[in-house]
Structure 1
Amino acid sequence: MKKIFSGFWSGYTITELIISAVFIALIIILTHILAIQTPFVRISLSFLPVAVFAMRFGPLKAAVTAAAADILGCLIFTPGLYFPGFTLSAFLSGLFYGLALYRKQPSIKRISIAALAIFLFIDLFLNTLWLTLLYQKAMQTILGGRLIKALIMLPVQISLIYLITSRLAKYGLYSIKTPRD
């Protein structure tokens, strides 16, 4: 399909922008509506649309989509409480999933590496740092609950991402060798 935009958006087709918008909506719904949330811990399935989008469209587009979802979600659901650190975390999550899954056969090993990298670097380190800066609490106070949540959710993330991505590949809804637009 012909690329019709200029500047940053020149890498997107209209179809990709529409699909990005749908995935942004899914991420926002799973993050802000269908989630269990406390001030320091959020349990949601928002990682699924990020991983699936990254698998199909690559690291940069997944990173931009995840960051846009973070910004729009904050504007819609928590006006006045935007913190750019979480947008960086969302961007990096999309990037990590894209690097691990884009144009590659889904495997438990590949998904585990991506999920573990996100778990350690983004969830435990960066997001805990952002919460420490935002709420002015000691990192040790916040880290305990976040660690327990992450240890419980890590196998859930790996299992669900593998289940979804392997089904998409099996039924031809995702092609490892995607044509260039």
Structure 2
Amino acid sequence: MTQNLCSSFKSSAKNCKSLRAITITAMFIALNLVLDRVSIQLTPELRIGVGFLTSAMIAMMFGPVMGISAGFVTEILSYVLYPRGAYFPGFTLTAMVGGLIYGLVLYRKEIKVFRAFVAKGLVNLLCNIGLNTLWLSMLQGQAVFVLLPARLLKNVILWPLESLLLFLVARAVMAIYQRMAER
């Protein structure tokens, strides 16, 4: 398993030198910035959007290294273009961890519903419920347990829908990408 993990990171790092991978990643980052603008802000702490799909697609196609890098770039560009208060590096870390998780679970693997559920479940649990709740608690001066119930409920309710959406989009994107690679 360790050797497989190292192989994934090495292969993913090579993608960082590919013009095709960088170009496609840049297009997905731009799409993420657009999708982020059309998300639904429920409360200051809760937002519903589909920007996660672009992060997942980058990591699925090009691996964890590119997923981490794209998470970093996307979060910084998002702050520069659409600032929402002061910059906080915790959210950048969360975006990078999300890219890592998607890369580890989806890169070079057959796209299956179960795998999409695992990937999205891990991101929801570790990033959305875990890290982002901690960052919001630190920034707003509220206890984690005050913020947790609404964030937990939102992520549990959306998990199946987001997972199914991830599965469907991932299959479509991979089919298109593979057809492009054949040319």
Q: For structure 1, which segment, 44-53 or 74-83, has the greater mean C-alpha deviation from structure 2 after superposition?
A: 74-83
What is the distance in 1 between the residues matched to 2:172 and 2:21?
21
Judge conservation of contact 2:15–2:66 (CA < 8 Å) in 1.
Answer: no
Specify the alignment match of 2:176 in structure 1. Answer: 173
Secondary structure, aligned partner of 2:176: coil
Change (3 A) 1:166 1:124: same
What is the distance in 1 between the residues matched to 2:66 and 2:16?
9
Change (3 A) 1:12 1:88: same
Judge conservation of contact 1:62–1:98 (CA < 8 Å) in 2.
Answer: yes
Change (3 A) 1:81 1:58: same
Matches within 5 A, 1:72-151: 72-78=77-83, 80-151=85-156
Name segments (4+ residues, structure 1) moved above 4 Å. Answer: none
TM-score (norm 2): 0.83
Q: What displacement does 1:10 show?
A: 8.9
Matched, 1:28 2:33: yes
What is the distance in 2 between the residues matched to 1:96 and 1:21?
20
Structure 1 or 2: larger helix share?
2
Judge conservation of contact 1:28–1:70 (CA < 8 Å) in 2.
Answer: no
Secondary structure, aligned partner of 2:142: coil
Q: What displacement does 1:174 show?
A: 3.7
Judge conservation of contact 1:35–1:43 (CA < 8 Å) in 2.
Answer: yes
Specify the alignment match of 2:51 in structure 1. Answer: 46
What is the distance in 1 between the residues matched to 2:69 and 2:53?
16
Secondary structure, aligned partner of 1:173: helix
Specify the alignment match of 1:17 in structure 2. Answer: 22
Indicate the percent of aligned positions where both proteins have the same amino acid: 37
What is the distance in 2 between the residues matched to 1:155 and 1:43?
14
Gaps of 5+ in 2: 1-12
Change (3 A) 1:56 1:139: same
Letter of the structure 2 residue corresponding to residue 39 of structure 1 = P
Letter of the structure 1 residue corresponding to residue 48 of structure 2 = I
